[in-house]
Amino acid sequence: MNKNINLQDVFLNQVRKEHVPVTIYLTNGFQLRGMVKGFDNFTVVLDSEGKQQLVYKHAISTVSPMKAVNIIFNENRE
């Protein structure tokens, strides 16, 4: 069975679980810094200085973690 991996979800979930601070660069050049608290198909919830921000993914250019993130791909080969 061929299962597609959604790298975006894997990455965001890992920075969320490991509590890695991120810098989110928006398409207008603005920068947001904080911790990813949650996400769905269209948005990311960022906790920044005690305030929560709902950021639409279509406005995001880059998500840059403050440290390296270990991404593990579970591949079942038959």
The residue ranges of every structural domain in the chain are 7-65
- Residue 33 is inside which H or E element, if any? strand 31-39
What are the tens digits of pLDDT across the range 23-41? 999 999 999 999 999 999 9
Predicted TM-score of the model (pTM): 0.84
Q: How confident is the model at residue 2 (pLDDT cuts 50, 70, 90)?
A: low
Provide the pLDDT for residue 37. 98
Mean pLDDT of 16-22: 97
Q: How confident is the model at residue 71 (pLDDT cuts 50, 70, 90)?
A: confident
Q: Which CATH class is domain 7-65?
A: mainly beta
CA distance 76 to 49: 41
